[in-house]
A and B are shown apart, each in its own frame.
Chain A
Amino acid sequence: MVKEKLVSKQYRKRSRAGEVWHRLRKNKGAMAGLAIIIILALIAIFADVLVDYDTDVIGMTLKDRLQHPSKAHIMGTDDLGRDIFSRLIYGSRFSLSVGVVAVAIAVVVGVILGAFAGYYTGGIVEDIIMRFTDIFAAVPNMLMAIVIVAALGANTLNLMISVGVTSIPQFVRTTRAAVLTVTGQEYIESARAIGESETKIIFKHILPNCLSPIIVRVTLRVSSAIISASSLSFLGLGVPAPAPEWGSMLSSGRAYLRGYSYMTLFPGLAIMITVLAFNMVGDGLRDALDPKLKK
């Protein structure tokens, strides 16, 4: 009776995921971010329903070019008479997919490499993986991405690859560090003792216990991947026209800064809000997964 009372409500029966979700739900910023992401994802998925690609997004009406925001075009039109709002809606597809796919590439490669490097500490496997990581990490991300895109040619897939590849070192390092801590735990010893295969130990016992730092890094990395991707597009190394990638919309609005600043304002806001949402969720997740960090 007395004992039960003493068990703090925090520890009352709830799965770990449930516990994290409970903490996350209390974080208003994270929930707002999550809501924005869900809305953006819905917009991206249903972009085809919302706007017609051929007429609204890439169809040009030159007589309507460079119109300031009005009732007909709430965000105005661009230099080829295309409705900026429609293009922004469709552009969510590119920004989100580039961010997500790029990070997915980085996660798959980075986590596997990181797990092996962390598990086979001290061996040649770790040496090779970590030296390669050092080399990749030694080149500033943006430069690396630029060189890769320049070599492969500018298109959406290559954009994803280049942003993804430059994110790999972070995941290798994060995973390795997490694996190193987990590998020291006794249940891994016992798994080894009962003779489970090493691959099984890595993927079944170690990785699931390393998830929190990886999840946090994924969310935060998606946001920077979106910025990197739109930066590359801004430099003309991204999604080829006429696709309405936000970064390239901003870039094309650059020539019309004076007098037509709305052309850069709205894509800029769109990028910022998306990135902000991912950052807020990432922050919230970090706090929720690691209560120590919270005040």
Chain B
Amino acid sequence: MEKNKILLDVNHLTVNYELEDETVEAVRDVSLYIERGKTLGLVGETGAGKTTTALAILNLIPDPPGVIKSGKITLDGENVLEKSMKEMTHIRGKEVSMIFQDPMTSLNPVFTVGDQIAEALMIHEKLDKSAAFKKAQEMLEIVGIPGERAGEYPHQFSGGMKQRVVIAIALACNPQLLIADEPTTALDVTIQAQVLDLMKELKKRYGMAMLLITHDLGIIAETCDYVAVMYAGQIIERGTLEEIFNTARHPYTEGLFNSLPNIADRKERLKPIPGLMPDPTKLPKGCAFAPRCPYASASCIEEMPEEVHFGGTHFCRCNAYKNPEFRIEREDIVYE
């Protein structure tokens, strides 16, 4: 029973992109899990490996060049990576659905939105064409689009509407897990809020678990139960929403918060993290964040940091904590 609480369990996942003359280590030894009905937020900069992790769950990493080098992904007790192509199609869209970043490009321009929603229903629910289309119209209503627009094509919809359609496709078959890959990044701020509210509401209604990928800490704060922070292909810190937001341990996480504008003190200067993420084809031997880290010591460059646990669910990967005295010099942030 206890084991069944965990819907998705990713263990030591490593994914490489093997190009002609170089190898990109996109995901390095990532482990994470999601309990039923909960939301995990995956935060990180562009190129940190968030999307690759998500795609690996659906076994959708483009191959070539992507290769899952090692790891185990257990969904509802079954290893996803051992499934055949055909078995995977039964999982995709049925057990796990995914929403992609750019609604402009994630709908097929040559089919009506109704057909695109209905297709999932026809595959998984074995509905016939007209029944599926009817259900598709219902789904559109649910996401706030008049059902009669089902016969229209994606180019006739605005960005926010398209994302609603994408959500309708994803939710059409009541998946247990919804992976949302930066679902609002490409949208206007006002629309972002609407879409986010819609997702929250639907999540509640269907009792789904969700993996929310974003680089927007605000969204995380609003929607997630747990947060994992990724940097250069690794999860460098994980914990509950409160743990991360109130007692961030990793210097990078700290840096993320520091680079947010302070609404309370508008005159305060932003403190961005200096430098850029390392070239994923030439990752350093030690901590990938070391070159940018204000606390870095010589050992950071040489040694790969281990996970340091802080009780319960909270851990981070940082060599500095070998020194038990180490604490991040934290400023008080009022964040809501």
Contact = CB atoms under 8 A, between A and B. Distances in A.
Interface of A: 2-3, 5-6
B279 interface: yes
Nearest to B291: A2
9 contacts: A2-B275, A2-B276, A2-B291, A3-B276, A5-B278, A5-B279, A5-B282, A6-B276, A6-B279
Contacts of B279: 5-6
Nearest to A5: B279
Contacts of B282: 5
A2 B275 CA distance: 7
A163 B244 CA distance: 73
Contacts of A3: 276
- What secondary structure prevails in chain B residues at the interface with A? loop
Contacts of A5: 278-279, 282
B282 to A, nearest CB: 7
Interface of B: 275-276, 278-279, 282, 291
Contacts of B276: 2-3, 6
Contacts of A2: 275-276, 291
Contacts of B278: 5
Contacts of B275: 2
Nearest to A1: B291
Contacts of A6: 276, 279
A5 B292 CA distance: 14
Nearest to B281: A8
B286 to A, nearest CB: 15
A269 to B, nearest CB: 34
A267 B279 CA distance: 54
A221 B281 CA distance: 41
A288 to B, nearest CB: 15
B88 to A, nearest CB: 24
B223 to A, nearest CB: 33
Nearest to B274: A2
Given A2-B275, A6-B276, 7 more contacts: A2-B276, A2-B291, A3-B276, A5-B278, A5-B279, A5-B282, A6-B279
A52 B35 CA distance: 87
